[in-house]
Homo-oligomer: A and B are copies of this chain.
Amino acid sequence: MKIYRANIVCTPTPKAFKMIPRGYVCVSDEGIIRCVCETLPREYESLPVTDYGDRLLIPAFYDLHVHAPQYRNMGMAMDEELLPWLEKYTFPEEAKFADKDYADKIYRRFIHELWMQGTMRSAVFATAHTQATKHLMHLFESAGLGAFVGLVGMDRNCPDNLRNTADEVRTFYEQCAESSAQQDSPSLVRPILTPRFIPSCSKQMMQAYGELAREYRLPVQSHLSENRSEIAWVKELEPEATCYGDAYNRYGLFGQTPTLMAHCCYTAGEELDLMRRNGVYVVHCPTSNCNVGSGMAPIRRFLREGLPVALGSDVSGGHYLSMLRIIQYAVQISKLYYADTYGKEAFLSLSEAFWMATKSGGSFFGRVGSLEEGYEFDALLIDDSYLNFDHYTLEQRIERYVYLGDDRDIRVRFCRGRELAEPVM
């Protein structure tokens, strides 16, 4: 058992921050939170306490949509809309991952920065390359970070050097299933089915994914209704599908197993109903939706309709890995949406956006994402003393940390109870 003392802040519900000034978190040797309290229960009184003084202890962040191989392109090449952007910048970069040395160099930096920014678990698109994707999973394991990692399947409308086949995809996931069967404890790094998006995947490819999902109960991640041209293209390519979402659903890839759908800027009507019925996660990527000129997703509406909503950086459509920034943009874009619709839909509160980046996103990984009893202990220790130069309440401190803080402020990072050292680059 380990006991930590600090100002504890988390969002058990989206409605408000829960704060325990100078509280305690007691964590079992397996990394599970046994108790979060103002005063220590008698049974723990004699145990040693790691006292972090006036610092903040918050849940770690979860990035539910990110493209690891686009890390080199982060912060540049954003002068095009989605489809030409893919052709011009993204596919040529991803093609480089046929080279394992190049993949090693970029993936190590990517993982180092996830650690630096306090993103303890993520849902990651790799590339179409089996070897590099396995290497990425290995690097996550070495770093002690959690991840769902997907080999990206694409067999149409893509350059030849990124094309793979349904058989290659099947082999990759079968091998993953074999090696996980040999493990004793549940791994922090697991495979996720990753058809890139409908335009990239033939019927054969989608059928293979559907079979893999059913057979191995594997989760799914992909893109949905990001951009108007993309939606029009899907309509052309899949005339039988009743909506973009249905083009996944008809193959059993839309909530039949846990499913993440990034963007959903234009999701409404039947697609929205289907997502709610099937419990499909919306992964809101506000920086990316700005950078690639996609539009404003109606996130407040999704929350109102009861859809699970998580946040994603979507690097390199998104320009930065920090989930602090994604929380900011989620609130801010919801305020522009509010102004744009003459106040018809309320804007997001900070606690709601923080909850999306922690407890709501974390829920995709299990009992993860909050500082509550029974949850895996993923947490960040924050030193905000430089921001705290006047009398600020704990609630104001967390607000200022979200808007003004950065990686410098994170002093300790925990994933499933383990304090993580800086990964080797």
Q: A residues touching B (Cβ–Cβ < 8 Å)?
A: 72, 74-79, 106, 109, 228, 287, 289-296, 319-320, 328, 331-333, 335-336, 338-340, 342, 347, 349-350, 387, 389-390, 392, 396, 399-400, 402-404, 406
Once the chains are docked, how many angstroms separate the CA of A331 from the CA of B78? 10
B403–A295 CB distance below 8 A: no
Q: How far is the CB of A246 from chain B (nearest CB, A)?
A: 24
State A336–B291 Cα separation when bound (angstroms): 8
Min distance, Cβ A186 to any Cβ of chain B, angstroms: 34
Chain B: minimal CB distance from A95 (Å): 15
Interchain CB contact under 8 A, B76 and A332: no
Select which of B75, B76, B291, B332 is within 8 A of A290 by beta carbon: B332
Contacts of A340 in B (CB 8 A): 295-296, 340
Known: A79-B349, A390-B72. A296 touches B336 (CB 8 A): yes
Report yes or no: B403 in contact with A320, Cβ–Cβ below 8 A.
Answer: yes
Alpha-carbon distance A408/B190, docked complex (angstroms): 36
Residues of B within 8 A of A106 (CB): 390
Q: How far is the CA of A77 from the CA of B400 in the complex (A)?
A: 9
B76 in contact with A339 (CB, 8 Å): no
Structural contact, B293 and A403, CB atoms closer than 8 A: no
Does A295 contact B336, Cβ atoms closer than 8 Å?
yes
In angstroms, Cα B388 to Cα A109, docked, is 12
| Distance in angstroms between the alpha carbons of A212 and B153 in the assembled complex | 69
User: What is the distance, in angstroms, from A385's C-beta to the closest C-beta of chain B?
Assistant: 14
Whether the pair B339, A295 counts as a contact (CB closer than 8 A) is: yes
Given contacts A74-B403, A293-B347, A295-B340, 17 further A-B contacts (CB under 8 A): A75-B387, A75-B402, A75-B404, A76-B396, A78-B331, A79-B349, A106-B390, A228-B342, A289-B336, A290-B332, A291-B335, A293-B335, A293-B336, A293-B338, A293-B339, A296-B339, A333-B336
A-B contact pairs, 9 of them (CB 8 A): A72-B390, A76-B399, A76-B400, A289-B336, A293-B336, A295-B339, A296-B339, A340-B340, A406-B406
- Cα(A293)–Cα(B347), bound, Å: 9
3 cross-chain pairs, A with B, having the tightest CB-CB distances, nearest first:
A75-B403, A290-B332, A293-B335
B291 & A332 in contact (Cβ 8 Å cutoff): yes
Closest Cβ neighbor of A292 among chain B residues: B335
Q: Please give me the residue from chain B that is nearest to A75 by CB atom.
A: B403
Chain B neighbourhood of A228, CB < 8 A? 339, 342
Min C-beta distance of A409 to chain B, whole Å: 12
A289 to B337, CA, bound (A): 12
A320 touches B404 (CB 8 A): yes
Query: Within the assembled complex, what's the spacing in Å between the Cα atoms of A109 and B389?
Result: 9
Shortest distance from the beta carbon of A154 to any chain B beta carbon, whole Å: 24
A135–B349 alpha-carbon span in the complex (Å): 37
CB distance from A405 to the nearest CB of B (A): 9
